Amino acid sequence: MAAIAALGMNAGQFNNEVTYTKRGTTFALVAQKAQSVNLNIYAEGTGGKPVKTVAMRKGEKGVWKAEVKGDLKGRFYTFNVKQDGKMLGETPGLFAKAVGVNGKRGAIIDMAATNPEGWESDRALGYAPTDIIVYESHNRDFSVSCKEARYPGKFLALTEPWAIEHLKSLGVTAIHLLPSFDYASVDEEHLDRPQFNWGYDPLNYNVPEGSYSTNPFKPEVRVKEFKQMVKALHDAGIAVILDVVYNHTMDIHNSNFQRTNPDVFYRKNDKGEYSDGSGCGNETASEHPLMRQYMIESFKYWADEYHLDGFRVDLMGVHDIATMNLIREALPKNVLIYGEGWSAGSCAYPVEKLAMKANVYQMPGIAAFSDEMRDAIRGPFSDDHQSAFLAAKPGHQESIKAGIVGCIEHPQVDYSKVNYSKKPWAIEPTQMMAYVSCHDDLCLVDRLKASIPGIGTDELIRLDLLAQTAVFTSQGVPFMLSGEEMLRDKKGVHNSYISPDSINQLPWDNMQKYPQVFAYYQGLIALRKAHPAFRLGSAELVRKHLEFLPVGEGLVAFRLKDNAGGDAWRDIYVVLNANKYACMVDVPEDAYTSVVAAGKVNLDGIRSTTTSKLEVPAQSALIVHN
């Protein structure tokens, strides 16, 4: 924390923007170069004239202050900053914790009154990274088409028994919610109109999104319902991870950053133009003391106020390493942090100082997604029609092996043959997120259809299960897109960020149609949870206990040996066979029990035989132990 105190602002300065009591409310806005700041108080969240306007007074370090006496609960407010002789326009400030509809005005609420019953005893679950199994979900996609849902598309859907039961039955230990802070692109005033967005267009970083609440006009409702969701998930043993997007804002000119501290929060290039490393029109400047402190306070706020268990950092490669490490330091040890170790365009900051995947080794306790493993399994991001290992194409073994060990250094992984990274980038295996699909890009079913022409349903299911076997037996942190367990598709849409429900919704009817898919995912997850060998958590243990077997193309095989991680099973053999024919793999002669074979999982054992050759059926995974 010492490092944080040295940033220039008082610790907690942003977080203290509005302090409410029944006797009066104090306001403290950071506006470093302002000439004057007006505070407007409104009766409504939108429309009408201010009931009061107060000239704020300038305090130390560019903080402007005002105190308004009386009970302001239920009122709304904006700030208007004057700089260089110009009024910058009304804004709910930098750190509103509640807002009116569409996030135009801050709202004064009693935060304590938003706590659901039992909230005092609720806390983050504190799972170790080795115990995390992530289910990536969009609030609307997940529940909007479920006939049982009482609150389709809302935070509250995740408090409903059918939803909790589904997640518990699948066995995932964490739900990762796509942006659920207040974003701009869905009009909260007209939720009766068909609208959809992933939400990667931040408006107010510290407020839940209104369109996922049952009433976006009442500021306390979204806050309370978000907490109800967290509580219900925690009660079920499911950790809650929030997708956070500090790398850019919806736009520059009307953003809360720009209307309070012009050009402080954004990077510019050598020509003096706004840089666009996010690919969304702007890029924030995490290395600037104000943005750095802002991010630290915002992460901390979500962890403290909403008891969050983790964060997924969008385009983490836009942020600088030092800031990410300070965020790590500011959060409790077991709050998970992982991010996209890349940017969408080039950033106006030296790449060696950015939180890129290649620099993860400089960020202990922070993980990044492995595109090595993802693309080696299913084909590159850049070409939906190109296949890879799943089509038994040669040359992908080494990249998958890198993904199996968690992108750490391993004597049997030759990084010169890995697709993107020519050297290991993780120090510990839990710094790598293992996945084959996420919200971005084609989901697995669509990818298989696009890359393997003429693929039929049976083959598609075989390859889908094979792909996820690699993910769930990786020493990294396994991650799956919601709906994969019910064989979802998105009708071939690559970027469905704005597509209608018909593309994005989960196909709940598929639960009856493809029960074998759900059962297999469920089985793999149960296998991982029951057997510490699959989640050793330390690079040293992985190097000691995980050994690859020499096999031909279209195959990856490894052994977890000598009761790895204290496992009850002595040696575990995992073979992935993408070939269209059965393959034989040599093993020391012994009695083996299969637990995964030909698309089925049974931890009690499918079949036992004494043999020195394992036969692995076409396009499937085999897992045996002795």
Q: H or E stretch including 167?
A: helix 161-170
Under a CB-based contact definition with an 8 Å cutoff, are residues 325 and 337 in contact? no
Residue with Cβ nearer Ca ion (46 or 334): 46
> Rounded to the nearest whole angstrom, what is the least distance from the CB of residue 305 to Ca ion in the complex?
18
The residue assigned the tokens 């925690």 is 234
User: What is the spatial distance between Cα 479 and Cα 327, in angstroms, rounded to a whole number?
Assistant: 22
The residue annotated as part of the active site, out of 122, 225, 297, 340, is 340
> Rounded to the nearest whole angstrom, what is the least distance from the CB of residue 209 to Ca ion in the complex?
5
Which among 391, 582, 367, 626 has a CA at the least distance from the CA of 474? 367
Residue with Cβ nearer Ca ion (209 or 464): 209
> Rounded to the nearest whole angstrom, what is the least distance from the CB of residue 103 to Ca ion in the complex?
5
The residue assigned the tokens 């390859």 is 463
Listed ranges 209-217, 347-355, 432-440, 511-519: which one lies at the site for Ca ion (CB under 5 A)? 209-217
- Contacting Ca ion (CB under 5 A), which of 17, 90, 131, 182? 182
> Rounded to the nearest whole angstrom, what is the least distance from the CB of residue 207 to Ca ion in the complex?
8
Q: Which residues contact 121 (CB under 8 A, 6 or more apart)?
A: none
Q: Which two tokens stand for residue 67?
A: 């105190």
Task: Classify burial at 499, counting beta carbons within 10 Å of its beta carbon; exposed 0-12, middle 13-18, buried 19 or more.
Answer: middle
Active site residue 270: no
Residue with Cβ nearer Ca ion (196 or 592): 196
> Rounded to the nearest whole angstrom, what is the least distance from the CB of residue 179 to Ca ion in the complex?
10
Under a CB-based contact definition with an 8 Å cutoff, are residues 324 and 355 in contact? yes
User: What is the spatial distance between Cα 165 and Cα 181, in angstroms, rounded to a whole number?
Assistant: 25
Residue with Cβ nearer Ca ion (249 or 594): 249
Residue with Cβ nearer Ca ion (195 or 412): 195
> Rounded to the nearest whole angstrom, what is the least distance from the CB of residue 242 to Ca ion in the complex?
15
Listed ranges 178-186, 254-262, 281-289, 548-556: which one lies at the site for Ca ion (CB under 5 A)? 178-186
| Nearest-10 Cα torsion for 550, 553, 554, 559 | 10
Residue with Cβ nearer Ca ion (101 or 373): 101
Would the CA dihedral through 108, 112, 115, 117 be positive or negative? Answer: negative
Task: Provide the phi-psi class of 39: left if phi over 0, else alpha when psi is between -120 and 50, else beta.
Answer: beta
Residue with Cβ nearer Ca ion (182 or 567): 182
Listed ranges 177-185, 296-304, 329-337, 522-530: which one lies at the site for Ca ion (CB under 5 A)? 177-185
Active site residue 340: yes
Listed ranges 174-182, 230-238, 354-362, 508-516: which one lies at the site for Ca ion (CB under 5 A)? 174-182
**DSSP secondary structure of 211-254:** GGSS-TTSHHHHHHHHHHHHHHHHHTT-EEEEEE-TT--S-STT
Nearest residue to Ca ion, by Cβ distance, number only: 182
- Window 210 to 249, contacts with Ca ion (CB under 5 A): 210
Listed ranges 15-23, 202-210, 240-248, 584-592: which one lies at the site for Ca ion (CB under 5 A)? 202-210
Q: If binding is defined by CB under 5 A, does position 201 make contact with Ca ion?
A: no
The residue annotated as part of the active site, out of 160, 314, 320, 375, is 314
> Rounded to the nearest whole angstrom, what is the least distance from the CB of residue 93 to Ca ion in the complex?
16
Question: Terminal CA-to-CA distance of the chain, rounded, Å?
Answer: 49
Annotated catalytic residues are: 314, 340
Residues of this chain that bind Ca ion (CB under 5 A): 182, 209-210
